[in-house]
A = this chain, B = another copy of it.
Amino acid sequence: MNVDGTPYRTIWLAEDGWAVEIIDQTRLPHAFVTRRLETLEDAARAITDMQVRGAPLIGATAAYGMALAMHADASDGSLGHAYDTLLGTRPTAVNLRWALDGMRETLATLSANTRAGSAYAAAVRVCDEDVDICSAIGDHGLGLIRDIHDTKEESETVNVLTHCNAGWLATVDWGTALAPIYKAHDAGIPVHVWVDETRPRNQGASLTAWELGQHGVPHTLIVDNAGGHLMQHGKVDLCITGTDRTTASGDVCNKIGTYLKALAADDTGVPFYVALPSPTIDWTLDDGVRDIPIEERDGAEVTRMSGRTGDGSVTSVAIAPDDCPAANYAFDVTPARLVSGLITERGVCAATREGLSNLFSDDKAVTT
């Protein structure tokens, strides 16, 4: 999508045709900085340090990391080392393993002198496939927004609430939850986004607000506490969030606080949709609340906050008493009964086993 009027992806091949460039997302929203990755170690560090984040983008960066490793040394040893190094960067990311397994499978059978070229081609393919998936999610979600707009006056705005960042910055382009919004905006439908700040890491305030602003999509930042009030007062037409993991029955594991917004949507009659690329479906799980382990992160993310001071430097400040105990659960699970529908690259379906199976019966056969 656009940054200051120029179209960008989150990761791309440098002009020299071998190095890789990324947007350093740790610097957002205060500075737009791109970084050049030249080695396997650069790619691994970009993932570890969260310069890139979001499951699809992590997968894409890992694929390019394999290509950079093959560019330097295409031996079997180098291949194995690159695989292990990249897999260790974010142990819980499903897309990471998926992308790396695919790359290793492709490259292992090739002779060393063809590996680098094939690795770059495969990495490009991983990226392009992600863009295609997200674009398709956007097209299907666009239908939902258009349907709502059709019930309003031509000039009336469709108000969408989202949580955390499931935008193009989490993918290679378009995003998941934000893809329908970008498609609607680009199609001339007046759309406005309520952006939850999404404590504790504030991906809404620092990433979603930034990317919507750069692309010119009207938006308003709110605290995570505010969405229920907005829905009670008719200020939200539709909620769309992403998901990190979706059970076969349609339960959705997403950034902490998603469940609260789904409850408010259910209580006030606001449609609550979840956008997902099908790789996030875990066909082995049924009851998400019971079965999905929830990552607990450092309490310092709760007791501290990072931001820009008056002199332009970015610093972390303490917002709680010294030694205040804090708990930091990263995700929660929204039961399928609260989800109006799932927006996938193959269409919109009910958040039920049947709904998902109808769209993905072939995938399911393969993975279960």
Contact = CB atoms under 8 A, between A and B. Distances in A.
A202 B326 CA distance: 14
Q: How many copies does the complex hold?
A: 2
Interface stretch (A44-52, A85-93, A148-156, A302-310): A302-310
A321 B199 contact: no
A33 to B, nearest CB: 14
A326 B260 contact: no
Nearest to A312: B318
Interface string A189-216: 0000010011110100110011001000
A294 interface: yes
A221 B232 CA distance: 28
B199 A225 contact: yes
Interface residues of A, number: 66
B205 A256 contact: no
A307 B305 contact: yes
B219 A256 contact: no
Interface string A298-329: 01001111111110001101111110111111
Contacts of A30: 318
A326 B213 CA distance: 12
Contact of A319 (B197, B224, B327): B197
Contact of A305 (B319, B321, B329): B319
A48 B354 CA distance: 59
A279 interface: no
Interface of A: 29-30, 194, 197-200, 202, 205-206, 209-210, 213, 218-230, 232-233, 255-257, 259-261, 263-264, 267, 289, 294, 299, 302-310, 314-315, 317-322, 324-329, 331-333
Given A226-B332, A260-B263, 13 more contacts: A199-B223, A199-B225, A205-B303, A206-B319, A213-B321, A223-B256, A224-B257, A226-B257, A228-B332, A232-B259, A260-B260, A260-B264, A314-B317
Chain A to chain B: the 4 pairs with minimum beta-carbon distance, closest first: A225-B257, A307-B317, A229-B332, A29-B321
